[in-house]
């Protein structure tokens, strides 16, 4: 070990000096040298045991044959083994039955957070509340265009939704449009006048939005009697919707509002059952399955439990 008792002023140096500090030529401590050689030995052992040396299309496997992918798969298999009993029960039970089972309900909601984040949050926002004016429905309230029962939510996820409001730019005068804008705003506050109701009925709005202007779930039409806005409650934005409609292929300025189908196979089955057909006749094996039926069931329960499910 270096003799640290020497007077630094008597030790030889390299001739380098920075801010009054001389660089001496004393050797490093022995423990430091030993640690240096041990670290080199550890690197050599690592190269032998683990994948380390890159080749043209791969790398050396190492004596242990370890890889991050294998470790990931082993961990995933452990998690799936723990989840399997719950997943099997969910697959066999209806959504209503799951809602009545506290243990399964907690599992379904907890295990659906990632599903929701990966597939739904981009449009509907974290917690089911999209940014204001984004044009996507809020999932955390009790206002539902097509219905908020858990089975209706399953149907919406599986089949998707694409409602349609025709453009009225060529059907209404400027005064009539202004009158209907006033009706929508006044009625949302419960203050619509008899004259405004008369205009609403005369222009055929009740055919889609209902005689009470609360919307018709079979059509997915908006409720005009509350303060919940799909697009915006500003007069100019309401006017734009009336003039150009929603999903009107004949108007280039129309609002586009489409909910994609997340499980084509389940959507086909739902449609077949609605019309009394055998759903197996429709299965050809090439249906798109973006999410499994179990995943859709869990997502429907998650959305239902956000606070606004019927």
296 contacts 158 by C-beta, under 8 angstroms:
yes
Integer-rounded Cα Rg, in Å, for the chain is 33
93 assigned to a ligand binding site: no
DSSP state of 213: S
11 assigned to a ligand binding site: no
SS3 16: strand
164 assigned to a ligand binding site: no
Tokens of 69: 């992918």
Those residues whose C-beta lies under 8 Å from the C-beta of residue 200, and which sit 6 or more positions away, are 180, 183, 187, 192, 206, 213
Q: Which residues pair with 165 in a beta bridge?
A: 246
SS3 242: helix
If you search the block for the tokens 């249906």, which residue do you land on? 287
- The three-state DSSP-derived secondary structure of 117-152 is HHHCHHHHCHHHCCCCCCCCCCCCCCCCCCCCCHHH
Q: HSE-up of 230 (CA within 13 Å, CB side)?
A: 22
Instruction: Detail the residues annotated as belonging to a binding site for heme c.
Output: 120, 123-124, 165, 205, 208-209, 259
Residues belonging to the binding site are 120, 123-124, 165, 205, 208-209, 259
């Amino acid at each position: 070990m270096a003799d640290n008792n020497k007077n630094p002023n008597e030790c030889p140096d390299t001739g380098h000096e920075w801010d009054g500090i001389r660089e001496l030529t004393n050797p490093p401590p022995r423990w430091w040298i030993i640690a240096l050689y041990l670290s080199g030995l550890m690197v050599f052992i690592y190269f032998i045991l683990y994948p380390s040396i890159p080749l043209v299309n791969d790398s050396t496997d190492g004596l242990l044959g370890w890889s991050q992918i294998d470790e990931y798969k082993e961990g995933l298999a452990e998690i799936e083994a723990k989840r399997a009993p719950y997943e099997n029960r969910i697959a066999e039970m209806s959504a209503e039955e799951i809602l009545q089972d506290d243990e399964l309900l907690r599992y379904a909601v907890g295990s659906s957070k990632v599903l929701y984040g990966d597939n739904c949050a981009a449009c509907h926002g974290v917690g089911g509340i999209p940014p204001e004016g984004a044009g996507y429905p809020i999932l955390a309230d009790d206002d539902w265009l097509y219905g908020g029962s858990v089975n209706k939510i399953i149907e919406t996820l599986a089949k998707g939704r694409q409602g349609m409001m025709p453009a009225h730019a060529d059907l209404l005068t400027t005064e009539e449009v202004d009158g209907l804008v006033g009706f929508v705003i006044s009625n949302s506050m419960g203050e619509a006048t008899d004259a405004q109701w008369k205009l609403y009925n005369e222009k055929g709005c009740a055919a889609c939005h209902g005689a009470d202007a609360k919307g018709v779930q079979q059509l997915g039409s908006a409720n005009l009697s509350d303060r919940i806005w799909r697009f915006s409650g500003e007069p100019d934005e309401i006017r734009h919707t009336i003039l150009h409609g929603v999903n009107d292929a004949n108007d280039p300025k129309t609002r586009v509002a489409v909910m994609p189908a997340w499980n084509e196979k389940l959507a086909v089955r739902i449609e077949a059952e609605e019309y009394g057909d055998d759903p197996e006749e429709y299965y050809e094996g090439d249906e798109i399955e973006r999410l499994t039926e179990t995943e859709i069931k869990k997502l429907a329960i998650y959305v239902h439990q956000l606070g606004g499910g019927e």
